Amino acid sequence: MTTTTSFETLGLSQYLLNTLTETGFTTPTPIQAKAIPLALEGRDVIGLAQTGTGKTLGFGLPIIARLIKEGVKAEPKSCRALILAPTRELVNQIGESIKVFTRKSPLKQTSVVGGASINVQSKILERGVDILIATPGRLLDLCNRRALNLSAVRYLVLDEADQMLDLGFIHDLKKIVKMVPKRRQTMLFSATMPQAIADLAGDYLHDPEEVSVTPPGKAADKVEQRVHFVQGRDHKTVLLKSELRANGADSLNLVFCKTKHGAEKLMKHLEQTGFSVASIHGNKSQGQRDRALKGFRDGDIRTLVATDVAARGIDVPGVSHVYNYDLPTVADTYVHRIGRTARAGREGIAIAFCAPDELKMLYDIEKLMGQPVPVASGERPEWQGKKKGGGESHRGRRPESRGPREAREHATERREQAVARGAFAEVADVERSGDSERPARKPRSPEGQRNDRGPRRDAPQRQPRPSFAEVEELNGGEFRPVRDRSEGAGERPARGDRRPEGKRDHDGRPARQAQAGERRPESRGPRPEGDNRAPRRDAAKPNQGASRHSPARFAGYAEEANLLTEERPQQRDRRPHGDARPEAAKPHQGPKRDGRPNSGRPNRAKGQFRG
């Protein structure tokens, strides 16, 4: 297919041609000239082009033209065209580009990203939209809330598909594709074409037409690249400040860092030194990121420090310098970083700072692009590659390890020194094990001593254990030997020959069993001295010194007044049935014994006072 030189020959509607002329677009880029005619025919397209080549209009203009031609109104909570992008900045960039061409048309378009109010987005989607630009995460959130239905989608676009796979959106993409009808037009655009993208295209695209403008990994032609070899991070900061001052106050500078904390720290340092600077990274809210990008586009902020989250989402035509403060770990990211400058046919400068620990990353970048980066300052060190084998820096053999011959010589030396010190009373045969030798120790004697030495003076002597060592302590403090289980005591009778012992008296003798019809004696006699168990029912009187916590309290002996004597006859028990407390423990309803009234709190149930 021959490359066209104007938009009139691509088959676009007159409305779009007029809008292109008003916005200043006269000549299509190579990717637009090849992709737009195929998309207008309804073919599935795979577009491979470097960043900054106009891929957004390559799929945006055909979708707008076909939606206007259909003339169908979107249903509530649905969309007719769905465009997916990996980052919020890229979604907003695509939305602003498409909004220019849908402003005077009946089409409605909106963007949904994370960090914004999902309730506001749900209200916008209630009326339905024609073109929806979204990130995969927020789109699934809206679908789970049933605020959006994808059954009416007819056009599906996956922009920057390689970055979506790198960010882990492959599972979200699979879920979204299942919600979209199978009869649809799918377009996939990417800057690189790894194997994962080829597999994705084979699963989701039907007979796609591949459009490749430049080989993957090739930087823009109008970008001038330079590299500074530095000694460390402080050296990078000094060179960066000198470069920013040399560029002047009219230039727009974009600085890329590897981490969020590093970007924020560098931004604060540049701000303290008098530069007009802002930062954009993952820790910033959506409002802060939008304000920083707006100030950078308007020229209020001359330097923007960003992470790779904005490597593909910043479309500012006036960016003149791109600085790689930290080299990226992935070589493809470097191509996307420097693609933020020299956009729309302009020229730009890309400057990188390479520390000694980033040398491998630089060589990977040069290998991807197929050309070396010119050196601006410093000396290019030689890359030795990955070390193999032993050595001081290898994990294998230690540098202080010695060979077999040295080991034998040192063993002989140690043996001669030991003999000279008299450490061995007698040098026995030399044991050889492998490549080392050492004097053998004499075997232990039967008594367990070595080298005819006597017993240790501090060794504890074992005392014989008497057979009556095991004793049993009773409550009264008496001790008596445990049953003798030695051999002299004889064997115990078999289990079947044992006689039931029954209960025993307090002196250890078996208690006499009562015969049939024989009444149990009323008194079992006094208990042995030292028995501290609770008093029996047939006990005549408890100890006079028993406290109120004694079990005798609950047997009716808490006070002297409760004891039955000749002067105090037995009184009638007025306690309710089942109350085992003594009468003295019951609350009194009348005055106390000393004549004072009962000062208790009233009983709420009966209106009486409780003691």
118 lies in some domain:
yes
Q: Looking at the structure, tell me whether residues 204 and 227 fall in a common domain.
A: no
Q: Looking at the structure, tell me whether residues 252 and 193 fall in a common domain.
A: no
Q: What is the DSSP letter of 550?
A: S
Q: Looking at the structure, tell me whether residues 177 and 289 fall in a common domain.
A: no
300 lies in some domain:
yes
Query: What is the pLDDT at residue 589?
Result: 52
Closest C-alpha to 155, from 190, 137, 180, 192: 180
Give Cβ neighbours of residue 577 (< 8 Å, ≥ 6 apart): none
- CA distances to 65, 196, 392, 450, 460 from 456, in Å: 104, 76, 48, 12, 9
77 lies in some domain:
yes
For residue 85, with 0-12 CB atoms within 10 Å meaning exposed, 13-18 middle and 19 or more buried, which class applies? buried
Q: Looking at the structure, tell me whether residues 68 and 153 fall in a common domain.
A: yes
360 lies in some domain:
yes
Q: What is the pLDDT of residues 188-219, one digit of tens each?
A: 988 777 777 788 888 889 889 998 876 655 66
Q: Looking at the structure, tell me whether residues 153 and 232 fall in a common domain.
A: no
- The domain in which residue 109 lies consists of 7-212
- What's the total number of domains in the chain? 2
Flag whether pLDDT at 116 surpasses 70: yes
Q: Which long-range contacts (CB under 8 A, 24 or more apart) does 93-97 make?
A: 93/56, 93/313, 93/314, 93/315, 94/56, 94/60, 94/133, 94/159, 95/133, 97/56, 97/57, 97/60, 97/315
Supply the CATH number for residue 253's domain: 3.40.50.300
Query: What is the pLDDT at residue 556?
Result: 46
Q: Looking at the structure, tell me whether residues 247 and 205 fall in a common domain.
A: no
Output the furthest CA–CA distance in the chain (Å, rounded).
Answer: 137
DSSP string covering 281-330, please?
STTS-HHHHHHHHHHHHHTS-SEEEE-GGGTTT---TTEEEEEESS--SS
Q: What is the pLDDT of residues 51-110, one digit of tens each?
A: 667 889 999 999 999 999 998 889 999 999 999 998 888 898 899 999 999 988 999 999
What dihedral do alpha carbons 558, 563, 567, 568 form, nearest 10°?
Answer: 70
3-state secondary structure of 432: strand
Query: What is the pLDDT at residue 215?
Result: 62
Could you give the CA distance from residue 245 to residue 138 in angstroms, rounded to a whole number?
Answer: 41
Query: What is the pLDDT at residue 475?
Result: 44
Of the residues 177, 212, 247, which one is the last residue of a structural domain? 212
Flag whether pLDDT at 575 surpasses 80: no
Flag whether pLDDT at 139 surpasses 60: yes
Of the residues 181, 212, 243, which one is the last residue of a structural domain? 212
602 lies in some domain:
no
Q: Looking at the structure, tell me whether residues 115 and 194 fall in a common domain.
A: yes
Could you give the CA distance from residue 115 to residue 289 in angstroms, rounded to a whole number?
Answer: 10
HEC secondary structure over 18-31: HHHHHHCCCCCCHH
Q: Where are the alpha helices (DSSP H) in 148-258?
A: 161-166, 170-179, 195-204, 233-247
Contact yes or no for 271/261 (Cβ under 8 A)? no
3-state secondary structure of 431: strand
- CA 213 to mean position of chain CA atoms: 41
428 lies in some domain:
no
Contact yes or no for 240/58 (Cβ under 8 A)? no
Compute the mean pLDDT over every residue in the chain, rounded to the nearest whole number.
75
Q: Looking at the structure, tell me whether residues 148 and 253 fall in a common domain.
A: no
Contact yes or no for 48/332 (Cβ under 8 A)? no
Contact yes or no for 44/66 (Cβ under 8 A)? no
Q: Looking at the structure, tell me whether residues 124 and 52 fall in a common domain.
A: yes
Contact yes or no for 603/609 (Cβ under 8 A)? yes
Lowest mean pLDDT: which of 16-20, 190-194, 450-454?
Answer: 450-454
Q: Looking at the structure, tell me whether residues 148 and 261 fall in a common domain.
A: no
Could you give the CA distance from residue 65 to residue 35 in angstroms, rounded to a whole number?
Answer: 14
363 C-beta neighbours (distance < 10 Å), count = 16
What interhelical angle do 55-70 and 14-23 show, nearest 10?
140
* Mean pLDDT on 282-286: 84
Q: Looking at the structure, tell me whether residues 335 and 307 fall in a common domain.
A: yes
302 lies in some domain:
yes
Lowest mean pLDDT: which of 108-112, 351-355, 358-362, 480-484?
Answer: 480-484
pLDDT bin (cut points 50, 70, 90) of residue 568 is low
Of the residues 377, 411, 433, which one is the last residue of a structural domain? 377
Q: Looking at the structure, tell me whether residues 156 and 41 fall in a common domain.
A: yes
Query: What is the pLDDT at residue 584?
Result: 53
521 lies in some domain:
no
